[in-house]
Structure 1
């Protein structure tokens, strides 16, 4: 089975390959084609993968290409993990937003809108070429903003594109662990959009054990989300939010922490990865896998550091660092379920199909799905209510403005996307953001007055 990995020069690709190396079952991936626009980054990642494969019998063969069509032809699965504009673009997104006093995170608020506006046209073109060159392939979308990009690609590929994220998996795992339950057998009643969802229940043997956690302040304060949001707020919500909701519930504190920081997350990663790729490009350079693993450990330890600083949450748990990543395991489980009809229940980004009554059928939502040879099928969950339903509706309306702007090139639809977002809420600021982002990113030149 052949896997095409778009964005194959990306830093987290070895996580995916490591998961593939551990799959020894019949029907596994035997060939990986890495595609990227940057040949130097491809060569660097190929070095790391070669070190990973050393001594592993029948390791999946790896080849690299800068030709998208070549990568897609003959693919059974396509992983889309592109970053339009690179980390330099992410750093610019953050800097421009913070200059206006609003959040610039890559998937949330102004930064997420800017990233979506320049990514959607590229993702749609990938979907069209996949439909033409690999019509039977399943596309698994890693590209952020994952829900928005998946919805854009679904307009071309329908249900053959599925979005994944490791945040809900990590949340469910942490809650199950603190309650002494097996994460693999517990059912998470989770719903929302990508990076905007809530765990409302955790069923173990048919019994919801989440109320017991919410009633115990000591337990609530013993894991990542409890420290991040505070036990009192979690009890008020009656649910455990996805960690990215910290940007909403503690927006002022987080923006203040970002603005006072020496550098933003994007700037840190840009600098860090530049060092890594430079080291990989030097003749007789550093040992590839060891250098990558050391760089990855630093990256994971500093994840959401500004949020933890703003909330006083402290350092990440050692268990979370040891189990970092996660999206590659979700992707492997998804591939197994589809390719071998090994049924699995996974939290995925798929078309709504009536799962959340407040949204239309075509809206991509993040909910538990039953996955089999026919794809991912959302399962019934309790409906979103109150502020959660309102917030999801507001953010989905923003996503639809982004999609409309990307399709039409209408600059005013882009302004609307920024202005309507709860973390921007100013038409004046929205216009200045569109001006600044179009000046910074050549990929937004398609927006016209």
Structure 2
């Protein structure tokens, strides 16, 4: 990297999963809209043709009149080429195909087990982890070999186990997991200020929060706006909207399966007195089947199962639009994605120091959970440094819920690394959503592993 009058040039970013039609375009736009950084994005993907497409798209965007910086995009056929010389590494992949995802989400429904997302916990999250962990073992080994000093940004789910695997394989890696779910809750609190206090135009970054928990099961025990404690106001907000829910657009959850009315978030506040800082679709999967008992219960809580068919339909639409971008028939709109990767880059480079939530191994920032377990808390970004902020400890009744999943994820990691089917099954039946008898659970587990066997090399199924 080269520093020149407050600008940093020749930043080298390796992007594993660089053939993406989704996150890649957000990254391309975010980088183009910043005027302090420039350099090269080195794209690596198992589908080299897709990486070449993003090379073309990224280079075309750099020529847009409204682009504030020029980045060079280059596709590489090997991970070695992409990583060698990289200052930063981004990992954002889809572990498997829609066939495996369909099994993750919908095979359990045959046994009365429902999941709204199926990518973090629950039977689907566990099986997804089993096929993702071997990939992350290879990524960690490659990073240790070719870019040991690079900072690694992980965006793939299951976030906790992907990040945990990187550290298990390469303990000295400088990696962290990035998720925007807390941002959404800060945004909700900003809208609450408008609704109850008439304070409009508050940006979510103005809501200061203390974050504790694990990815997609994060909690806030402190939230302020300009020094004012927001918990009393949130209690009023919950009482006002508990039954009908609160959305940007009324009943959006009915037609958009990626949204919810926040009723689960409100219910968890009434139960535990803390603000659950993730979307309802994720929160529901960490609890017993209070919210996912059956389709009627799901509708009652005003959220939906994000079906794999809906994802496939979205994929077709995205691919059609993406092809128009690649051909030049349409231009990529340059707008900020809402992610923080550019600001995080600047923090680690030393341009600015700031605090945000990330997923890191526990070195004492969160009490009441094992050291080394990956937790989500705030951390300080500064020059070549990421320092966790002491977050404290969750109340026992909430910590028990979080700890249950941490220990289960540790069992899942051990099972994946040792290819131990029995150990994986013990984690499977220990998930709060798997409330079926053992024989049926064994049958479901066997079916799900069989459906994802192409991604389980060396397993005896």
Instruction: Give the TM-score normalised by structure 1.
Output: 0.83
1:111 pairs with one of 120, 124, 130 = 124
Q: Structure 1 pair 20/98, CA: closer, same or farther in 2 (3 Å)?
A: same
The answer as to 2:447 corresponding to 1:436 is yes
2:274 pairs with one of 239, 253, 265 = 239
* Residue number in structure 2 paired with 1:365: 375
The 8 Å contact of residues 13 and 87 in structure 2, kept in 1 or not, is answered as yes
Determine the C-alpha separation between the residues in 2 that align with 1:385 and 1:429: 35
The answer as to 2:200 corresponding to 1:200 is no
TM-aligned CA deviation for residue 437 of structure 1: 2.2
Alignment of 1:253-268 (within 5 A): 253-254=291-292, 256-257=294-295, 264-268=306-310
The answer as to 2:348 corresponding to 1:338 is yes
* Residue number in structure 2 paired with 1:189: 210
* Residue number in structure 2 paired with 1:175: 189
Alignment length, in residue pairs?
414
* Residue number in structure 2 paired with 1:314: none
Alignment of 1:81-160 (within 5 A): 81-104=92-115, 105-155=118-168, 156-158=170-172, 160=174
* Residue number in structure 1 paired with 2:42: 33
The answer as to 2:44 corresponding to 1:2 is no
- Structure 1 residues 111-144: Cα deviation after superposition (integer angstroms, max 9, x where no partner): 1111111001111110111111011111011111
* Residue number in structure 2 paired with 1:218: 240
TM-aligned CA deviation for residue 399 of structure 1: 0.6
Find the residue that maps to 1:438 and give its secondary structure.
helix
Determine the C-alpha separation between the residues in 2 that align with 1:222 and 1:209: 17
Q: Structure 1 pair 263/364, CA: closer, same or farther in 2 (3 Å)?
A: closer
The answer as to 2:457 corresponding to 1:448 is no
The answer as to 2:208 corresponding to 1:166 is no
The 8 Å contact of residues 33 and 68 in structure 2, kept in 1 or not, is answered as no
* Residue number in structure 1 paired with 2:417: 407
The answer as to 2:228 corresponding to 1:228 is no
RMSD (Å), alpha carbons: 3.0
Q: Whose helix fraction is larger, Structure 1's or Structure 2's?
A: 1
1:78 pairs with one of 64, 89, 92 = 89
The 8 Å contact of residues 405 and 447 in structure 1, kept in 2 or not, is answered as no
Find the residue that maps to 2:294 and give its secondary structure.
helix
* Residue number in structure 1 paired with 2:402: 392
Q: Structure 1 pair 262/124, CA: closer, same or farther in 2 (3 Å)?
A: same
Determine the C-alpha separation between the residues in 1 that align with 2:384 and 2:49: 38
Q: Structure 1 pair 352/253, CA: closer, same or farther in 2 (3 Å)?
A: closer
Of 170-179 and 388-397, the range deviating more from structure 2: 170-179
Of 406-415 and 242-251, the range deviating more from structure 2: 242-251
Determine the C-alpha separation between the residues in 2 that align with 1:283 and 1:34: 18
Q: Structure 1 pair 377/263, CA: closer, same or farther in 2 (3 Å)?
A: closer
Determine the C-alpha separation between the residues in 1 that align with 2:226 and 2:41: 39
